[in-house]
Structure 1
Amino acid sequence: MTDRFSDVHPSLSGPASTGFTILPDDDANILETTRGLYLGSGGDITVVMASGASIALTNVPGGSILPLRVNRVLATGTTAGGIVGLV
């Protein structure tokens, strides 16, 4: 298979190259700081950003990709589901 971009250094403005399932947890950080989040089903999501700031986003539609650098997705305040961390 040809990958025309294999020699291009990844950047925050480029596409994600992998992802992982995120289970919201009030106490534990996720595996890796994300460059974005995908929400499979809509709702509210509360996160701890890479800066340490906590934010709540309400009424986010399912299928959304949020360009957020996140260290934790909190269970408290999160009703969205199917959350995938994009890196």
Structure 2
Amino acid sequence: MPQIDPFTSFRRGLESPATHHIAITPQDGVDLPVRPRVLRVLASGDLAMRDEAGTVITYAVTAGETIGFSAAGIEATGTTASVAGWY
């Protein structure tokens, strides 16, 4: 039986839930293939996030945490956590 989506006639907004997810492999200086709306922490550790200006800040994160930051990239150097991106 095909899936029914009662929201297909509604326009998606920034407050709408994400509909796609991507596995993220940290790489130094490499932009993510798709810019996620948020990140979901899969395994605890440190997460080195790079913004669109190139600034990298490392945060201690916990598994299950959702980070409301649209990172341009996740750096390998300094990252021990595992994350997925939602968009």
Supply the distance in 2 between the matched residues of 1:19 and 1:33 (Cα, whole angstroms): 11
Which structure has the bigger radius of gyration?
2
Q: Count matched residues.
A: 85
The structure where strand makes up a greater share of residues is 1
Q: Secondary structure at the match of 2:72?
A: strand
Q: Deviations over 1:24-65 (max 9, x none)?
A: 00031111111011111011101112454322212x111111
Unaligned 5+ runs, structure 1: none
Answering whether residue 67 of structure 2 is matched by residue 66 of structure 1, we say yes
Supply the distance in 2 between the matched residues of 1:31 and 1:70 (Cα, whole angstroms): 11
User: Over aligned residues, Cα RMSD in angstroms?
Assistant: 1.5
1:86 is aligned to 86
TM-score normalised by length of structure 2: 0.85
1:41 is aligned to 43
Change (3 A) 1:50 1:34: farther
Residues 26 and 74, structure 1, Cα contact 8 Å, conserved in 2 = yes
Q: Report % sequence identity.
A: 27
2:24 is aligned to 22
Unaligned 5+ runs, structure 2: none
TM-score normalised by length of structure 1: 0.85
